[in-house]
Structure 1
Amino acid sequence: MPPNSTRAPEALLANLAKPIQWLILVALSFVVTALIGLTGLPAAILLGPMIAAIVVETNGGSIRLPPFVRLVAQAIVGCTLASAVSPQIVARFVTEWPLLLSVVLTVISATSLIGWVLGKYQIMPGTTAVWGFSPGAATAAILMAGAYGDDVRLVAFMQYLRVVMVVGAAAIVAHIWIQVTPTADTTTWFPPIDWTAFAETIAIATIGGVAGHLLRFPAGVMLIPMAFGAVLQSSGIVKIELPYWLLAMSYAFIGWMIGQTFSRDILMHALKKLPHIVLAVLVLIIFCGGLAAILTELLGVDPLTAYLATSPGGLNSIAVIAASSKVDMSFIMALQTLRLVIVIAVGPSISRFVARRLEQTLNIGTLK
């Protein structure tokens, strides 16, 4: 009897056929997205499907997005980010790169320090916290955590919980600051399409996505279409054309991808550490808020622009929030893009360095 009673909740959806599970996931995604949308939070299109996927997964769901769909969604998002790149952003890089670089390196240092402190004082086992707070490149962090013999389930939970909390905090701040209205009221789902521009955009996403996949560069499926599309659009060769229905589907797919990593096993396993993880993420969010205040003082940018620019993670969602707000989009995208590129390029190496030092510290402490 006890085994059956323990497994019953997990088997709630597992006994259903996969088409039925997909119908439940889609319906629940619509409901949760609509409820979040009523609050005016700009990230509803991502958070709704993500929460729905978590609910389905933790109740015995066994459905997964095909790898091809994951690649397409990431490539489309890359083109979306490329559409926000303009000569103004490039000019921002050129004129303010020392300050932007300093802010990015400070955020990366803060995340590494938090991971090191959690590990040193054994709040998290071994070097798990270092990988869990690695600022970006979640897949690489999870893989390297496994190579170090750490708990990959806990690392995955920390990585994605951090993204959820950061995105949620940014959406709430934007909503409170300027009273953002729900995007559903003003969005045209099926606008007229420039078919030539749309075909060019799909070609960029396809070629760039395939190249990123073959090169196996971290986040290359998103970054290469972003870089390729940004160069072509900034030079006036093409115009990025993405109808809202396609963008919404891509964000929903990414939300499902993230949500499907939160299995019941991971959640139950991480439950004991949840207060520590939440507190650490809150410290990071407050720290970045302090950086935003400094940027406001030094550059005179408005507080919301500075806050969104320094938010530690969730670039895709930050872009959506920024696009729904009266902010300096070029400044936000310049700093966020720089952070993403640096994190992907050197973030895993920095985390590996911190993990090794922490491992040595723990070994010395054990010998004493």
Structure 2
Amino acid sequence: MKRWAQVIALTLPLGLLPLPASWIFAGILASGIVALCTGTTLIIPRWCTHAAVGVIAVIAAIPFSLIPLQQLQTYLLPGLFVAVVSIGISLVCARALRSSLGAPTALLSTLPGGASVFSALAADMGAHPSYVALTQYLRVLLISLSLPLITLLIGPSTQSVADVAPATFSGLGLLVVIVALGQPLARLLRIPSPSFFGPFLITLAALMRIDAAQLSPPPLVLGAALVVIGWMCGGGLSLPTLKLFAHQLPPTLGIIALLMGSAALIAWPIAEITNTSYFEAYLATSPGALESVLAIAAETHADPIVVTIQLIRLMAVLAIPLFMKRRD
């Protein structure tokens, strides 16, 4: 309890800073500082992380549901292009690391996105679970730390305020039901990333019958979800874990830098092809940290291209280890 009191005490003043995505940044920085100073990771209750990811999924589904089918079709080819480039770079990196790590470990530790899924699959595929979790987490952490800074540098000059009706008790009740039922239902149906895709798909179905304003969470709920996402990214860092894999950190950091650099490069043609801003294209091509990306996209009211391309790439990336598992 003492550590969580310290995390909360650091989070609140940082979150009030006039910065883009301030609550995510505050959560990452506060939890990371406490985790490193105490030498142990911060364990967030599973129900809390499921709820936070579920709220972000609902936020992501609202603009996604409003995209005309014709516009979705225009995003399909750019999304596949992003997936092919990202996966191609990861496969090249995995081949280079195969001799020192083994093929399964090298593959699962370099694929962009699906960190929780890959960590869960590692043991079943004969990979090193701790190394896969560390490398996937480091990528998520570095991307999540960079996104608020990128938002400050190239994001919207002022965050637009959506015209959303005040939250009602029925709307909040429906939001709670969607978030609560989404994850177990998706797990029952064996849908990947159930904490996100469960509420996301239920929201899409619900929006066929109700107005989107009814599901828009109030600022307090959204802020709390953003803070928990930040805690998820920063709280898993610890010196003992980093020391354990210190000899593998240089190539791991190099691969992360390569993935982030390639995302920055391909964002230029994506922005031109889809007629969106470079900031939105970068969010769409960012190699992982899906929850942080979609949280910032929701906070800055970014174009639905972010959700569309991220989901296309995620499904393509998840198909690789699942295909390998079935083949074995």
Matched residues, percent identical? 22
TM-score normalised over the length of structure 2: 0.84
Residue 84 (structure 1) shift: 2.7
Asked if 1 retains the 8 angstrom alpha-carbon contact of 2:28 and 2:145, the reply is no
Which amino acid counterpart does residue 196 of structure 1 have in structure 2?
S
Residue 266 (structure 1) shift: 1.0
Residue 162 (structure 1) shift: 0.9
Corresponding residue for residue 107 of structure 1: 86
- 1:55-104 CA-to-partner distances (Å, cap 9, x unmatched) read 33341457533332232222222212222323326432234423322322
| Secondary structure of the corresponding residue to residue 88 of structure 1 | coil
Corresponding residue for residue 29 of structure 1: 11
Corresponding residue for residue 162 of structure 1: 139
Asked if 1 retains the 8 angstrom alpha-carbon contact of 2:182 and 2:198, the reply is yes
Q: Does 1:54 align with 2:29?
A: no
Corresponding residue for residue 312 of structure 1: 287
Q: Does 1:45 align with 2:23?
A: yes
Residue 161 (structure 1) shift: 1.4
| Secondary structure of the corresponding residue to residue 241 of structure 1 | coil
- 1:202-252 CA-to-partner distances (Å, cap 9, x unmatched) read 222222233134445331122111111023225546631311211222232
Question: How far apart, in 2, do the equivalents of 1:352 and 1:136 lie?
Answer: 18
Unaligned ranges ≥5, structure 1: 1-18, 357-368
Change in 2 beyond 3 A, CA 1:214/1:259 = farther
Q: Does 1:79 align with 2:58?
A: yes
Which amino acid counterpart does residue 78 of structure 2 have in structure 1?
L
Change in 2 beyond 3 A, CA 1:155/1:252 = same
Corresponding residue for residue 64 of structure 1: 43
Which amino acid counterpart does residue 71 of structure 2 have in structure 1?
R
Asked if 2 retains the 8 angstrom alpha-carbon contact of 1:131 and 1:351, the reply is no
Q: What does 1:275-354 align with in structure 2 at a 5 Å threshold?
A: 275-325=250-300, 327=302, 329-344=303-318, 346-349=319-322
Query: Alignment RMSD, CA only?
Result: 3.2
Residue 277 (structure 1) shift: 1.8
Q: Does 1:97 align with 2:76?
A: yes
Question: How far apart, in 2, do the equivalents of 1:247 and 1:179 lie?
Answer: 19
Q: What does 1:131-210 align with in structure 2 at a 5 Å threshold?
A: 131-178=108-155, 180=157, 192-210=166-184
Asked if 2 retains the 8 angstrom alpha-carbon contact of 1:89 and 1:333, the reply is no
Which amino acid counterpart does residue 30 of structure 1 have in structure 2?
L
Question: How far apart, in 1, do the equivalents of 2:56 and 2:155 lie?
Answer: 26
In terms of mean alpha carbon deviation, does 253-262 or 133-142 score higher?
Answer: 253-262
Question: How far apart, in 2, do the equivalents of 1:243 and 1:326 lie?
Answer: 15
TM-score normalised over the length of structure 1: 0.76
Asked if 2 retains the 8 angstrom alpha-carbon contact of 1:46 and 1:252, the reply is yes
Asked if 1 retains the 8 angstrom alpha-carbon contact of 2:285 and 2:309, the reply is yes
Change in 2 beyond 3 A, CA 1:296/1:66 = closer
Change in 2 beyond 3 A, CA 1:31/1:136 = same
Aligned length in residues: 324
Which amino acid counterpart does residue 177 of structure 2 have in structure 1?
A
Which amino acid counterpart does residue 142 of structure 2 have in structure 1?
M
Corresponding residue for residue 217 of structure 2: 242
Asked if 1 retains the 8 angstrom alpha-carbon contact of 2:191 and 2:197, the reply is no
Change in 2 beyond 3 A, CA 1:44/1:260 = same
Change in 2 beyond 3 A, CA 1:20/1:89 = farther
Asked if 1 retains the 8 angstrom alpha-carbon contact of 2:64 and 2:304, the reply is yes
Asked if 1 retains the 8 angstrom alpha-carbon contact of 2:15 and 2:26, the reply is yes
Asked if 1 retains the 8 angstrom alpha-carbon contact of 2:82 and 2:285, the reply is yes
Question: How far apart, in 1, do the equivalents of 2:79 and 2:146 lie?
Answer: 22
Higher-Rg structure is 1
Higher relative contact order (CA 8 A, sep 6+): 2
Asked if 1 retains the 8 angstrom alpha-carbon contact of 2:116 and 2:193, the reply is no
- 1:90-140 CA-to-partner distances (Å, cap 9, x unmatched) read 4322344233223223322322322222334x3x56643321122222223
Unaligned ranges ≥5, structure 2: none
Residue 311 (structure 1) shift: 1.2
Asked if 2 retains the 8 angstrom alpha-carbon contact of 1:134 and 1:347, the reply is no
Residue 149 (structure 1) shift: 4.7
